[in-house]
Amino acid sequence: MRKVRDVLRLKFDGGQTNRRIARSCQISRPTVPDYLLRFEKAGLTWPAAARLDDAALEGKLFPPAPVASTAQRAAPDWSQVHRELRCRGVTLTLLWHEYKAACCISDCLPGSFSNCFTRNGQR
């Protein structure tokens, strides 16, 4: 369980430093400013946030991750990739850069290098 409420209480009610808060809550020092930044980005104020239950507070500070795009990514022309790889000096990285440039011109989403070549068993 996160100690968000304790961090906020010690910061806003107790006026403690981040280092002292981290020590008293037994969490890492970078976690304290992370919680405070999330609190600020959520647009909450301390007296109002104190009245929220733990689940609601965590829901505002740690919203669910955005859903990945369902748009289809353009697949490379594998016959052309295999043909080009037979030529001297041609690498997968070079072909991937050409593929990305072609996708940018045609307004389609290119796949990452690992998605295009490594995961598809082409490497």
Q: Which residues pair with 110 in a beta bridge?
A: 74
Average pLDDT in the chain: 86
Q: Is the pLDDT of residue 120 over 60?
A: no
Residues 3 and 54: their CA atoms lie apart, in Å, by 10
**Report field, pTM of the whole predicted structure over 0.85:** no
pLDDT recorded at residue 123: 47
118 has pLDDT over 80: no
pLDDT at 1 over 70: no
CA neighbor of 81 nearest in space, from 120, 28, 42, 23: 120
Q: Residue 104: its pLDDT value, please?
A: 83
- Joined tokens for residue 122: 């082409």
